[in-house]
Amino acid sequence: MERTLVIIKPDGVQRGLIGEIITRLEQRGLKIVGMKMIQMSKELAEKHYAVHKGKPFYEGLVQYITSSPVVVMAVEGNRAIELVRNTMGATNPANATPGTIRADFAVEIGRNLVHGSDGPETAAFELSLFFRDDEILSWSRDTDRWIFE
């Protein structure tokens, strides 16, 4: 099993899409093992987006992600990173495949509703920013035998 971070960004929260986004991830077969709504601090946002520091969009990104509450989730499943990213769609909603979250609900890259870790190392780092070890649960889901071989 692989774990990844998903963030429902301020636009997803403000537009009332929390339930829709969670539903799509769960319907895909992914399991939520940690979840909370937070108001992200500037310090936490700067750590999360440190890889973009110095880029022209960095300051706007930090301002945006701290502008309103977000929902952070630890999501688990076989190939969870790949499945989450495919379910979200391309970063630019104009290029996202119909049926993905971004294609169905977003218009602009700067308001693309969700974030998902892009690889195993990034997922481990990002999960540690938002969750303590005791906030991520290991639990058995009866339907897993019908989802995973």
Q: Which listed residue (87, 115, 130, 131) is catalytic?
A: 115
Render each residue's pLDDT in the chain as its tens digit; 149 residues.
899 999 999 999 999 999 999 999 999 999 999 999 999 999 999 999 999 999 999 999 999 999 999 999 999 999 999 999 999 999 999 999 999 999 999 999 999 999 999 999 999 999 999 999 999 999 999 999 999 88
**Can 48 be counted among the known catalytic residues?**
no
Residue 112, CA distances (Å) to 8, 37, 48, 64, 78 in order: 9, 18, 17, 12, 25
CATH of 2-147, one of 3.40.1390.10, 3.40.190.10, 3.10.180.10, 3.30.70.141: 3.30.70.141
Asked if 6 and 36 touch (Cβ cutoff 8 Å), the reply is no
Asked if 101 and 24 touch (Cβ cutoff 8 Å), the reply is yes
The domain spans of the chain are 2-147
Q: Collapse the DSSP code of 35 into the 3-class scheme (helix H, G, I; strand E, B; otherwise coil) and give the result.
A: strand
